[in-house]
Amino acid sequence: MSDLADLFPGFANHWIDTRAGRIFARSGGAGPPLLLLHGFPQTHVMWHRLAPELAKKFSVTAMDMRGYGWSSAPASDGGGLYAKRAMGADAVDVMEELGHARFRICAHDRGARAAYRLALDHPGRVEKLSLLDILPTVEVWKNIRAGVTPASHWTFLSQAAPIPEKEIGKDPDAYFRPLMAKWEKDPGKPVFDPRALAHYAAAWGDPSRIHAMCEDYRAGATLDLAADEQDLAAGRQILCPLQILTGSSFMTRAPGELPVEVWQRCFAPQAQGAMIDSGHFLAEENAPATLEALLGFL
């Protein structure tokens, strides 16, 4: 930890005990509470370009989800401990410990999946929700199986243990760095602060976190998919105001529909959307436009 750069100067550190073990979080600013959740294969550090600006108007909390960054990585089997329902419950525990019963959420990628599950499971907790560059899990798997969306890492990581763990473990940098480059709008253009990349690499080089990330995707293929299907069948909806921000990544492609239209059809008729001139990593590829969109909504 001490060997990595502090990209959140002035923010407090927290180690919070939850059912997943210890969750690491950073907090700063003043105003309405705002939770930031990161994506794969990153950590809370992905918000380093936005958190200081958001902290001028909000009480910002950026946490590492279970299995990522500096949070505990409980051993699991078949995705059992990495369902987004459990990750969402971790977020509730963290925010309650910091004194926030209700809060806004801005979340990217896997964190966004935990966030919309939290909003469905605990509707009274979330005041506003901004999701960065995802479609509902049930829609992603539908598109993969229809051949509309490349299977890519979704099917590879969700294979039974230890197949992907062993393959990635041979050279984690050689797996994760080219994968991230595929999702950038301009792969030849520097996107990430080298200090942030050092944080990500420190985490993804840990075998326990490689296993946790695979378990995250195994849960996505089973428990998370089942939860989405059950809620769709029951007609459950996200009740709070919802913003969908998307870049130009393949993960939000839907045949004949804009990403926001998919959300309006599935879980959130009230959803509003905006496109950001970016690849998948909106908060790092185009922080100014992402910040402007977030502030206009939050």
Catalytic residues, which ones? 109, 280
Write out 35-67 in H/E/C secondary structure.
EEECCCCCCHHHHCCCHHHHCCCCEEEEECCCC
Terminal Cα-to-Cα distance of the chain (whole angstroms): 32
CA gap 184, 282 in Å, rounded: 9
Helices (H) and strands (E) in the chain, counts: 13, 8
273 and 260 Cβ atoms separated by less than 8 Å: yes
CA gap 226, 197 in Å, rounded: 34
Structure tokens that stand for 71 in this block:
């949070």
CA gap 34, 45 in Å, rounded: 16
CA gap 92, 96 in Å, rounded: 6
β-bridge mates for residue 37, sequence order = 63, 107
Distance of CA 295 to CAs 1, 198, 243, 284, Å? 31, 29, 11, 16
Backbone angles phi, psi at 190, to 5 degrees: -60, 130
Strand order in the sheet with 103-108: 12-18, 21-29, 59-63, 33-37, 103-108, 126-132, 242-246, 272-275
Backbone angles phi, psi at 86, to 5 degrees: -70, -40
Closest by CA position to 256, among listed 148, 174, 102: 148
